[in-house]
Amino acid sequence: MLDRLVELDERTWDDMNGYSNSSPVCAADPGAPLDEPHATTVQVLSARLSSAGCAVLLSGAGLSTESGIPDYRGPNGTWTRQPRAQWPLSNAVYEQEPELRRASWQRRLHSPLWAAVPNRGHFAVGRLQRLDVLHWVVTQNVDELHQRAGSRPDRLIELHGSMRRVRCLSCGARTPMPEVLARVAAGDADPRCTSAAGYHEPAAAPACSGQLCGGVLQSDTVGFGEALDAHALETALSVVRRADVLIVAGSSLTVHPAASLVPLAAQHGAWVAICNNQPTPYDRLASLVVRSSVSALLTAVADALATTAIDSAGWPVDCA
């Protein structure tokens, strides 16, 4: 299994892993995107979730578009409009170029993305977890909107990190992004690590920072070619191997190793549903392919299962 963030086509991945699967696709909502999911789709997905012993949801940028965060490859995606223009810098380049860092901090300081709030899809995921029909969320998103919508942090795996945290490239210390942005707003154009615990090499510490680390600070996200957090990746692999249901929510499934979780789940016998506004390379492995709004679908499923829970228990389970 790859441990670095790369973009591959599925044939390359299959060749690398000696894997092939030609199971037929049962597309309940084929064709053009629909605003609302078909009732049959909601019933099928609800039934699968309610009987699953381990249900996992893999979310991607498509889940956050309703929150005003552009995806990458959708009709209005960042890379659709400006191919390759927005690829993130490698940490090696970032660490060596103070001008690039200063420009990056100014972009972060003024980014409209900080104002994004969870949408109905994120809240539906949180409701499904509280109903105990969805057991793990694995996300490629770095926006922390799952947490803000009530997803359990101990059952949430952020494969690509978080833009709301900062990581020191020298000592690895993590700091909330708002704290560092406040320093930038106050005039610190290229903020450095102030962790005393991260102080390792006297020769590397700037004289003016005393016993502080002084390392370069970067957004705590995984850039292309960089290794994913080993614990996050191992946990994701472990839960997907034992999943009997995997729902893909708004991912184009072209970025690995996240996309590789889909064939891995299928290989281990999981029932796979893929909801994305565009075809994905792994639609052929899915038992259900849905093109309608992923947020609308998850909301409808959460509504259906909450109603079922009330009917069967005589008391509202989803009472948050």
Catalytic sites, residue numbers: 160
Residue selected from 89, 150, 198, 235 as contacting Zn ion according to rule CB under 5 A: 198
Q: x/- string (CB under 5 A) for Zn ion, residues 85-124?
A: ----------------------------------------
Q: Which is nearer to Zn ion, 65 or 195 (CB)?
A: 195
Cis amide bond preceding 257, omega within 30: yes
Residue selected from 52, 57, 163, 171 as contacting Zn ion according to rule CB under 5 A: 171
∠ CA 93-95-99, rounded to 5°: 80
- Site for Zn ion contains 193 (CB under 5 A): yes
Residue selected from 145, 166, 213, 289 as contacting Zn ion according to rule CB under 5 A: 213
- Site for Zn ion contains 215 (CB under 5 A): yes
Q: Which residues contact 9 (CB under 8 A, 6 or more apart)?
A: 254, 281
Residue selected from 162, 195, 277, 293 as contacting Zn ion according to rule CB under 5 A: 195
CA distance 158 to 161: 5
Report, in Å, the least distance between residue 167 CB and Zn ion.
9
Identify the burial level of 315 via C-beta atoms within 10 angstroms of its C-beta, where 0-12 means exposed, 13-18 middle and 19 or more buried: exposed
How many whole angstroms from its chain centre is CA 79? 17
By CB under 5 A, the count of residues binding Zn ion is: 9
* Subset of 259-298 contacting Zn ion (CB under 5 A): none
Residue selected from 170, 254, 260, 287 as contacting Zn ion according to rule CB under 5 A: 170
**What tokens were used for 202?**
């006297």
Q: Which is nearer to Zn ion, 73 or 167 (CB)?
A: 167
- Site for Zn ion contains 139 (CB under 5 A): no
Is 136:130 a contact under the CB 8 Å cutoff?
no
Q: Which is nearer to Zn ion, 213 or 285 (CB)?
A: 213
Is 147:158 a contact under the CB 8 Å cutoff?
no
CA distance 132 to 88: 37
CA distance 162 to 158: 7
Query: Which positions lie near Zn ion, rule CB under 5 A?
Result: 168, 170-171, 173, 193, 195, 198, 213, 215
